[in-house]
Amino acid sequence: MESSLIISIIFKVIGGLAIFLLGMNYMSAGIQAVAGSKLRQLISAVTNNRLMAVGVGFSVTALIQSSSATSVMVVGFVNSGVMTLVQAIGVILGADIGTTVTGWILVLNIGEFGLPIIGVFGIIYLFSRKDNTRYLAMMLMGIGMVFFGLELMKLGFKPLKDVEAFLNLFLVYKPDTFSGLIACAMTGALITGIVQSSSASVGIVMGMASTGIMTFDTSVALVMGMNVGTTVTALLASLGASANAKRAAYAHTLIKVIGLVWVLPLFPFFLKVIPVIMGQDPNTIRIVNGVESFPFIIQGIAIAHTMFNVINVILHFPFVNHLARFLEKIAPDSPAEGHIKFTKLDIRMLSTPVIVIEQARREIINMGNIVIEMMEDLKCVIIEGFDNEKSIKSVFKKEEDLDIMQKEISTFLVDIISMDLPHNQIIEAQGQLRIADEYESMSDYIANIMKLLLKLRDNSLKLNEEKKKEITELHDHITEYFKLINNSIKYNTKPDISYVYSEGKSITHHFRELRTKHLQRLSAKKVDPLMSVSYMNMLNGYRRIRDHILNVAEAVIGDK
């Protein structure tokens, strides 16, 4: 074979593969941007209902076009405690079916239109100013790149059909014997383990099969092995994760391995069923202008891929709970899981940024609930006095927790903001970053007010009934104001802007009234200087909490 021909083949195959993978990436990013709200709803829908979990796994994988990304995301959810092992296994089963969608996209066989699709939607992507249009164009441009990449790989593989030495390589792996079948499956697993994308691996096989380089039975045997190879990504993602996250990755691998074990002995019967379903022989050769083609082989591979995964899911579906218990035995909890995280965010979720934004919103709601608990603890100490040691310790412990939560949330959101996302999602992430900071600041002021009360105690002073009543009323006023804003985040609604500002002014007026009363008391009666200063600092602390609540409201509304 001439060196120029070898170089041409290598460039076309590697270039086609790179364009294929880039197209998958663009398609995934575009779909996530366009269907971000749907992805959030799907993840929120995961419950212990196994059928629902399977449906979510299928839908998410079909949307983001990557079972590897879904499995890594699931490992991240399990590692952070968002998802239980049983839920994760259900989602993984659904992802196994969802991954077959890519094969059906390739069945459309419109490779010749790949380049025009890239051209048209690439221009729209580059020059469109509207986010929705831009990301829809990115998705369609990605589809064009997938088809064009596959077409380049086909062109690259085509000359190899006439190279006898290359064709002899596939005779070694011919699945007409059980050992040959195992060799094919292992080769497929190895290829996918290296490429880290079952979609790309299946695309390579489809490209080679469509040129006649390999037979239908060889291509199907390779694809069966590729189903196992795709689990490597999740196994790598589970390194350094919790025991439960490791179990989720092991579940993915075990399900695929069991699938391969049952399909290999039945492989000859499996192959016979496919032509019956198609109504055509996948090995049919069509000659047009002296050029051979195999018009049905890609469809046959897609059917085989789908059949295997659907049957495998059906077989495993009734035993999800048993599988979870088995994995708990073979992968027990380690004595020390390492650093304790305060949020359920995990770096493995960054492959699906819209999910991180949704999870960050949940963590911010959790921060808000902790702030409310701190306000309740503070009120208990104000009313009941310093005997309530539990509430005193609780305030300082929660203030420290919120410091850490704010840092963890900020770390993730900063990474998200730097990604190529729709403007509205970046704005939402920026708003969440601001809210997390405001909540942490509120906790500081609550802790400061508690410190002022303790300072009075240490100096044998305490609030009289009049001051206690005034502080309590202001405390309740601000607590209700905070709950109003926090509920708008919790239920994903926007508060009435006019009411937000009017209520903020009402609290300011309340503060000024108490300050005036205090100053009048100072002129009428001598007050301990420490008591006077501490009382005013408490009022100022509440006023600063009010300012931070208003800042949160503006972030939620999108004002300023």
Give the mean pLDDT per block of 10 residues along the chain (560 residues).
72 85 82 71 69 86 76 78 84 90 78 85 89 87 87 78 59 75 88 79 83 85 89 80 84 92 91 89 77 81 92 93 89 58 70 78 92 95 85 94 92 83 83 94 96 92 89 95 92 86 94 92 84 92 95 82
| CB neighbourhood size of 496 (10 A) | 13
Both structure tokens of 356: 């991180």
Gap between the terminal Cα atoms of the chain? 68
Q: Is residue 188 helix, strand or coil?
A: helix
Non-local (6+) Cβ contacts of 337 within 8 A are 242, 243
Q: Record the tokens describing residue 168, joined without a space.
A: 């002899």
The CA distance from 191 to 202, in Å, is 10
Torsion 445-450-455-460 (CA) sign? positive
According to the model, what pLDDT value does residue 335 have? 52
Q: Output the pLDDT for position 123.
A: 93
Burial, 485: exposed, middle or buried (Cβ in 10 Å; 0-12, 13-18, 19+)?
A: buried
Distance of CA 196 to the CA centre of its chain: 18
Which residues, 6+ apart, have CB-to-CB distance to 288 below 8 Å?
none
Looking at residue 339, its pLDDT comes to: 47
Which pLDDT does position 338 carry in this prediction? 47
Query: How far is Cα of residue 364 from the mean position of the Cα atoms in its chain?
Result: 17
Distance CA 32, CA 37 (A): 9
Per-residue model confidence (pLDDT) at position 506:
95
Contacts of 511 (CB under 8 A, 6+ apart): 474, 539, 542, 543, 546
**Three-class secondary structure of residue 273 per DSSP:** helix
Residue listed under structure tokens 């899911």? 313
Please name the amino acid found at residue 127: F
Taking phi over 0 as left and psi of -120 to 50 as alpha, with beta for the rest, 495 belongs to beta
Residues 503 and 480: beta-carbon distance below 8 Å:
no
> Rounded to an integer, what is the distance from CA 489 to the centroid of its chain?
20
3-state secondary structure (DSSP) of residue 412: helix
> Nearest CA to 473 among 526, 427, 510?
510
199 contacts 24 by C-beta, under 8 angstroms: yes
The closest alpha carbon to 210, from 168, 154, 259, belongs to 154
Beta bridge partners of 292: 287
Contacts of 253 (CB under 8 A, 6+ apart): 228, 231, 234, 235
Contact between residue 205 and residue 177 where contact means Cβ atoms under 8 Å apart = no
Angle at 299 between CA 296 and CA 304, to 5 degrees: 125
Give residues with Cβ within 8 angstroms of 236, minimum separation 6: none
Instruction: Give the per-residue pLDDT at 195.
Output: 75
pTM flag (> 0.85): no
Q: What are the start and end residues of each CATH 1.20.58.220 domain in the chain?
A: 347-557
DSSP reduced 3-state for 292: strand
At 173 the pLDDT is: 64
Instruction: Name the superfamily (CATH) of residues 347-557.
Output: Phosphate transport system protein phou homolog 2; domain 2 (1.20.58.220)
CB–CB of 472/380 below 8 Å? no
